[in-house]
Amino acid sequence: MLQPRKPLHSGLPPGPKGTLIGGAAHKFGDGLLDFFLETARTFGPLASARIGPKRFFLASDPALIEQVLVRDAKHYKKHFGLRAFIPALGNGLVSSEGAYWRSQRKLIQPTFIPARVRSYAPVMTAITEDALKKWSDGDGLNINNEFSRLTSQIALKTLFDLVDDGDRQHFTDTLKLAFDIMTERLRRVLKAPLWLPTPENIRLKRAIADLDRTMLGFIAAGRARKEPGDDLLSRLLAAKREDGSHMSDRELRDETMTLYLAGHETTALALTWTWVLLSRHPEVEDKLVAEWARVLRGRTPELEDMPNLPYTHAVLSESMRLYPPVYVIGREATADLELGGYRVKRGYTILMSQWVNHRDPTYFPDPERFHPERWEDNLAKRIPKFAYYPFGGGPRICVGNAFALMEAAIILAAVGQRFRFRIDDNAELGFKPQITLMPVAPIPVTLKAR
């Protein structure tokens, strides 16, 4: 067993008092984001609390986060919250561990080298242009649903070389149902085991079986092709381990499910929250439109335009600072460790919240202000690495982060040159924290042509 460094403090870090049985479990609902922020600001860079019998530390100092995600990474595994979603996610890159994770990462990493990521720009551009042809001045729509549909179409094409055949909405609805059920299970201190045939468990198992059928159908279609395509599935089918073996259908199912979810849901959320912020800050939108007029002159952006759109990238960075699609990550200690002068016992969980760190006034003065200009003069290089980490960090940093950033910039500029969004007065703009930062309800808007 790894010998812990000598603790500087006895006992646990300070933290909020919870209930006798549930601890802070009652906070892990709609008020979760406020709970994280208040805990960090009240109790400091390392706070302690319970969720039922599970002890967790909330780390909010960038140096502590770097210790967990980088220096001590090999002594941590994914936490109980993420593991609760494994029934749907499977054992893909997000959830797998140890030697198996390292083997899979080595197989998948080459599919995301910069040249291959850039090769998908024309696909993103073409699908975005087709989607915009269906929008008209005065139309009413729900922007989170529309951006989810658009990024899903891009994911289907780039992942599987498939077009949206009409079943996409059913697949998305089934995925949402599974995640809603698993989120509710996670929030309970006492929960029925999955093998027990409760009505909830039966619905979850049916949803997962439906997802499996769809994803395995995509894989079977990929295997049946006479010629491999340029999609990610073709590259994963061709990928070989050092012993010459290929991924099984189950391994491919788990990896493509993970890539599909990460490849469209997080980008859709980033775009949704960006437009919510722009609707409240017309001066930022006007500056964006001016950049697009100067650089693009009405055309849909292409790969070559990306370096010439610095304010577009600054807006996306600022949006993901305030409303990070992934708002918390966690690691569970596999040995007794030290963190911030306290003993981290084997089995303790360290939570690290982007929602908290991205609002630290030490690095982001006036942190609640939407101010893209703060990213000028290379702010990202002047602050600690883990003051801003929308894609995680360390060995397990999101493999598709460059893909997501390019996709978001292309869609934002293409849509924004043609339309602005007027959010309906009765729109509910709250958050529903699940595995990602979901809106509490669809966000209705009216399209206004430029």
The residue behind tokens 């990896």 is 255
Is 388 or 26 the better-scoring residue by pLDDT?
A: 388
The residue behind tokens 């139309």 is 139
In this structure, the number of other CB atoms found within 10 A of the CB of residue 420 comes to 18
Residues linked to residue 264 through DSSP beta bridges, in sequence order: none
How far is residue 235's CA from residue 289's CA, in Å, rounded to a whole number? 38
Residues 6+ apart with CB under 8 A from 325: 265, 266, 267, 269, 270, 273, 390, 436, 437
Using 50, 70 and 90 to split pLDDT, how confident is the model at 221?
confident
In this structure, the number of other CB atoms found within 10 A of the CB of residue 159 comes to 20
Residue 184 is predicted with a pLDDT of: 78
How far is residue 111's CA from residue 101's CA, in Å, rounded to a whole number? 16
DSSP of 339-389? ETTEEE-TT-EEEE-HHHHTT-TTTSSSTTS--GGGGTTTHHHHS-GGGS-
3-state class (DSSP) for residue 119: coil
Q: Tokens at residue 215, please? A: 């994803």
* 31-45, 102-116, 283-297, range with the lowest pLDDT: 102-116
Mean pLDDT (the chain, rounded): 89
Residue 62 is predicted with a pLDDT of: 98
* Relative orientation angle of helices 249-280 and 310-322, to the nearest 10 degrees: 100
The residue behind tokens 């960006």 is 274
> Is the pLDDT score of 102 beyond 70?
yes
> Is the pLDDT score of 8 beyond 80?
no
Ramachandran sector of residue 226 (left: φ over 0; alpha: ψ -120 to 50; beta: rest): alpha
For the segment 269-280, the average pLDDT, to the nearest whole number, is: 96
Using 50, 70 and 90 to split pLDDT, how confident is the model at 20?
low
In this structure, the number of other CB atoms found within 10 A of the CB of residue 89 comes to 25
Is 264 or 55 the better-scoring residue by pLDDT?
A: 55
Q: Report H helices in 133-192.
A: 143-160, 168-187
DSSP 106: H
With a pLDDT cut of 70, the percent of the chain lying above it is: 95
Using 50, 70 and 90 to split pLDDT, how confident is the model at 90?
confident
What is the β-pairing status of strands 349-352 and 437-439? unpaired
* 158-172, 185-199, 267-281, 330-344, range with the lowest pLDDT: 158-172
> Is the pLDDT score of 328 beyond 80?
yes
For the segment 423-449, the average pLDDT, to the nearest whole number, is: 91
Which of 23-37, 188-202, 247-261: highest mean pLDDT?
A: 247-261
DSSP 110: G
For the segment 257-268, the average pLDDT, to the nearest whole number, is: 85
Residue 9 is predicted with a pLDDT of: 75
Which of 14-23, 64-73, 154-163, 197-206: highest mean pLDDT?
A: 64-73
How far is residue 186's CA from residue 28's CA, in Å, rounded to a whole number? 9
Which of 142-146, 202-206, 241-245, 271-275: highest mean pLDDT?
A: 271-275
Residues 6+ apart with CB under 8 A from 336: 1, 2, 3, 4, 343, 344, 345, 346
Residue 94 phi/psi, 5-degree rounding, is -70, -35
Question: 261 near 89, Cβ under 8 Å?
Answer: yes
Residues 6+ apart with CB under 8 A from 400: 112, 259, 262, 263
Instruction: Let me know if 303 is exposed, middle or buried by CB neighbors in 10 A (0-12, 13-18, 19+).
Output: middle
CATH number of the domain at 25-449, please?
Answer: 1.10.630.10
> Is the pLDDT score of 224 beyond 80?
yes
Q: Tokens at residue 168, please? A: 């996409």
How far is residue 391's CA from residue 307's CA, in Å, rounded to a whole number? 21
Q: Which amino acid, residue 200?
A: E
> Is the pLDDT score of 1 beyond 50?
no
How far is residue 174's CA from residue 407's CA, in Å, rounded to a whole number? 25
Name the helix (H) or strand (E) containing 226.
none
Q: Tokens at residue 167, please? A: 């079943």
Residues linked to residue 329 through DSSP beta bridges, in sequence order: 352
> Is the pLDDT score of 24 beyond 80?
no
Q: Tokens at residue 92, please? A: 């893909």
How far is residue 211's CA from residue 217's CA, in Å, rounded to a whole number? 10
User: Taken in order 246, 249, 255, 259, is the CA torsion positive or negative?
Assistant: positive
Range 3-6 contact pairs with CB under 8 angstroms and sequence separation of 24 or more: 3/336, 4/335, 4/336, 4/337, 4/338, 4/343, 4/344, 5/337, 5/338, 6/338
How far is residue 403's CA from residue 406's CA, in Å, rounded to a whole number? 5
Question: 138 near 149, Cβ under 8 Å?
Answer: no
Using 50, 70 and 90 to split pLDDT, how confident is the model at 21?
low
Q: Tokens at residue 450, please? A: 């430029």
Q: Tokens at residue 268, please? A: 């859709």
- Domain residue limits, the chain: 25-449
